[in-house]
Structure 1
């Protein structure tokens, strides 16, 4: 069994960390840099190169692949076509190989971060990329949550509302979390998967080209120089673009730069108010604001946030490193290097509604294909909710259940996750037989769906692993695992104890219990033994 690491797979840069003496530490790549450029290219011999060397390539290269994760779009590089997962896997392979070279040992598993607003398909694509690179990927966490974990590890004694403002290279997220007794509770998330530093680069580049009035220049020609000019505005009041190869010299005041990017910054501020509204909070309720992502170095952004939150705004030494440090903390928790007693427990929320298709009323008409939500968007996780439905035709003995994710009113507007049938309904008049549908959604992104015929007690359950490679493929019940009998007693004890303990302890027990059920399905005996010991200790403690 090798080491577990944390990875920030970013739009512009990526990084890898591990736990050393109880603290997360970033592993430098073979070039001696803590951050690896998320760029993939092919050299003149047809070899794939990744990182700083790829960024220097004048010809064809792939950047910002994160923005198309979870889509079917193919990317041409050299003479080959690649999926977004395959390109991302090349970046992850470099991180893995460089880290193994540094540590002198095999890396077995990774915790990978994703934007808070990533869909299940995007998360699934990220996991697939990780597995293509040779990692086992059981857990992914949102980037703002990872940042809050890095902060929370050093502030376990605090009780405060945390707002994470994460303006990265390709995505923007804002999350509000409640830190209380070592538990990080995600209260709300908002953001834009197509708002990032790259949008600022593009805006600045287009403006410069319009001012230069040069038909022989393209955005690609000045791309790297524009990025450097943007960075200069973090310390200079006047920045210069100087490209001798194209005989270009252009300078501009920071004030004009801020006027250009102000609409994008205002867009991010609107997301703050959206998140506050979701969490039913006001600005004054926030205890600390964490600035995450390289784009937060821009003075305009810092000043806007200080206007809102005053001295509650906290800048890290390097805002681009915070997320990977938090991923390293989660890796330490997973590997039991950080114990459940002293470690952080993270709760989350459901970013998209979950429900089933049924016959119902839509726009005043009774019709099939109506979407009935069972777990609403923004519900706290873990969550368990039930709804009761009835048969819609005489002598109906079977119900076909389709499980969906999304916010549309009709099933056709949402994403189909899984489908199954339950038989054995007693023949009766339409509406006389009732079927209870229960959804249980865990912190590990596992959705259990159970259908029960109320009159007979007959039940059928499926388990959907939301981040599965097959994009939410149905799994068998954990009770079918060959190891289930070995752990049945401790599972039963834990499920009974959950009913009698405080909310804080309920979350702690649920977190380990969910992971145990997942590893029963994976038949991971070594991990099950560690989880058994951790759960036993926790049950005696509470």
Structure 2
């Protein structure tokens, strides 16, 4: 059984598997190696994802959801039409699409996957990603950090290497930097850093702002200030898409043009945009943002206890690393050229597939790898301290430090602070500053773990041992033991802000797999499918299998809302039925 490797990206997603010991990309039903992470309710009320949704974004912006990855792990609801979705539900639609495309490509059922996330994703974001996989009908075998996945792909191709590498990952919505030690078949992440709100889409926004400035100078009116609200939204969508195209063009051309005919009507006159921007102008606009990534690079190098000249290879992944200025900044930092033989859009999915094959033990002994990842955040709890002779609560006390190898377990003993205290509330926080006061932005848990039934005693006499465990999936377990009685409470952190309950997950899964049956295409094909099932009941065993496969192929095309594919597979099913009946 194949374990699918999935790169669930902010702007694009991809999938891969291992064949004969080597990872290979899987194309979707449109023959694409990457799938836009775009979700939409189309004009027929059907839920669609991928290129179909992206191509209709400029005409249906209010019905379209982009960049949902940035909302993972939050309790925000996204309304599309009259329906509200959680981020997990929308991500599940992408994963279901990829799962079905992989099944179509491989000709087998897919039930397991390794899904990648940014190294700097929080526990809540990781858990939300795992839930999205569950809703989509996948058992998520591993949540894998994206830079680590790329390092795995690199390590498989360089099995005898002994070197230090950096993986610089500038994707559509996030930035990660990891320092990795390759020691033959051992891949050890030494340190990671990053920013979950810095990526190619932020560069697109800067270009949108540039266009708005040009327009304001030319027409003396803000570009997004006139017309009906729906017109403004549609106008912004068109400019945003064009900004992405211009950004991509400037990676290979010295100039590019914003060409947007009939973008708006102002004072009764149609307005078209035709602005040319040079690569040099673009670089001036985005340089400050890109230089922010180097701050995180310095942090990771420092945490890895290495000097820049100790780095042997530079691996660039994420579509935004195609920007020449990105390459120049990173290469200047390390005074060496980046590797050019790695596809920045595919390395993460390939590495995830290899991780899946490692789980299956389907790699040869020569190709087998051992991977050691790190905890990207410092984790701790809140304690009371004596400051200037006064008791003050809410100070951050560290249990697990950033960049500890995974899995990691840490324990500390805490005392009661009041006479006859019978309970302790354990909050879990992530941060870096040991002297910081905790706040809701740092808190991981919705509510604290409550340790009760502590014997009444004088302040400081009763002791509670608190243990944090951070596993290879980046998920956290806490345990508290009252030392005088041995009473222990243990909990995997599920009750988090923004995380769906088990009941909500079950309901979302049922909705996801029922939605397609209510679509217009499904209604049109209902008669054909009913007829095919009737013929199947009386067919020979081999013929029954052929009919079942043809029905599944047609149902898959319906779920894809691909009209041409539905027609093709309807004809194939009808031809098969005619052959069998005759």
Could you tell which deviates more after superposition, 463-472 or 115-124?
463-472
1:41 counterpart residue number: 40
**Distance in 2 between residues matched to 1:37 and 1:433, nearest whole Å:** 56
CA contact (8 A) 1:358 1:371 kept: yes
**Distance in 1 between residues matched to 2:317 and 2:330, nearest whole Å:** 13
Could you tell which deviates more after superposition, 411-420 or 275-284?
411-420
1:436 counterpart residue number: 465
1:225 aligns with 2:250: no
**Distance in 2 between residues matched to 1:451 and 1:81, nearest whole Å:** 38
User: What displacement does 1:428 show?
Assistant: 5.1
**Distance in 2 between residues matched to 1:37 and 1:226, nearest whole Å:** 16
**Distance in 2 between residues matched to 1:6 and 1:467, nearest whole Å:** 28
2:73 counterpart residue number: 70
Which of the pair has the greater relative contact order for Cα pairs under 8 Å at 6+ separation?
2
User: What displacement does 1:433 show?
Assistant: 4.2
1:54 aligns with 2:79: no
Query: Which runs of structure 2 are paired with 1:336-347 in the superposition (5 Å)?
Result: 336-338=361-363, 342-347=367-372
User: What displacement does 1:449 show?
Assistant: 3.8
CA contact (8 A) 2:301 2:307 kept: yes
TM-score normalised by length of structure 1:
0.80
Gapped regions of structure 2 (runs ≥ 5): 225-234, 264-271, 503-582
**Distance in 2 between residues matched to 1:467 and 1:351, nearest whole Å:** 21
**Distance in 2 between residues matched to 1:192 and 1:101, nearest whole Å:** 36
User: What displacement does 1:445 show?
Assistant: 3.5
**Distance in 2 between residues matched to 1:452 and 1:70, nearest whole Å:** 29
CA contact (8 A) 1:464 1:473 kept: no
User: What displacement does 1:468 show?
Assistant: 9.1
CA contact (8 A) 2:319 2:345 kept: yes
1:292 counterpart residue number: 317
**Distance in 1 between residues matched to 2:460 and 2:402, nearest whole Å:** 29
1:460 aligns with 2:488: yes
**Distance in 2 between residues matched to 1:449 and 1:40, nearest whole Å:** 36
Query: Which runs of structure 2 are paired with 1:201-216 in the superposition (5 Å)?
Result: 201-212=204-215, 213-214=218-219
TM-score normalised by length of structure 2:
0.75
Distance change (3 Å), C-alpha of 1:314 and 1:466: farther
Gapped regions of structure 1 (runs ≥ 5): 475-542
May I ask how many residue pairs the two structures share in their alignment?
Answer: 470
Q: Answer 1 or 2: which has greater strand percent.
A: 1
1:404 counterpart residue number: 428
Distance change (3 Å), C-alpha of 1:441 and 1:79: closer
User: What secondary structure sits across from 1:311 in the alignment?
Assistant: coil
1:252 counterpart residue number: 277
Could you tell which deviates more after superposition, 177-186 or 286-295?
177-186
User: What secondary structure sits across from 1:406 in the alignment?
Assistant: strand
Distance change (3 Å), C-alpha of 1:234 and 1:411: closer
User: What displacement does 1:423 show?
Assistant: 4.1
Query: Which runs of structure 2 are paired with 1:7-406 in the superposition (5 Å)?
Result: 7-57=6-56, 58-60=59-61, 61-212=64-215, 213-214=218-219, 218-246=235-263, 247-338=272-363, 342-362=367-387, 364-394=389-419, 398-406=422-430
Could you tell which deviates more after superposition, 371-380 or 320-329?
371-380
Distance change (3 Å), C-alpha of 1:430 and 1:239: closer
User: What displacement does 1:310 show?
Assistant: 3.1
Encode CA deviations 1:144-180: one digit per residue, 9 max, x unaligned. Answer: 1111111111122112211111111111111111222
**Distance in 1 between residues matched to 2:360 and 2:322, nearest whole Å:** 34
Encode CA deviations 1:71-92: one digit per residue, 9 max, x unaligned. Answer: 1222221221212111111111
RMSD: 2.7
User: What displacement does 1:142 show?
Assistant: 1.1
1:421 aligns with 2:422: no
Could you tell which deviates more after superposition, 254-263 or 399-408?
399-408
Distance change (3 Å), C-alpha of 1:471 and 1:208: closer
CA contact (8 A) 1:163 1:288 kept: yes
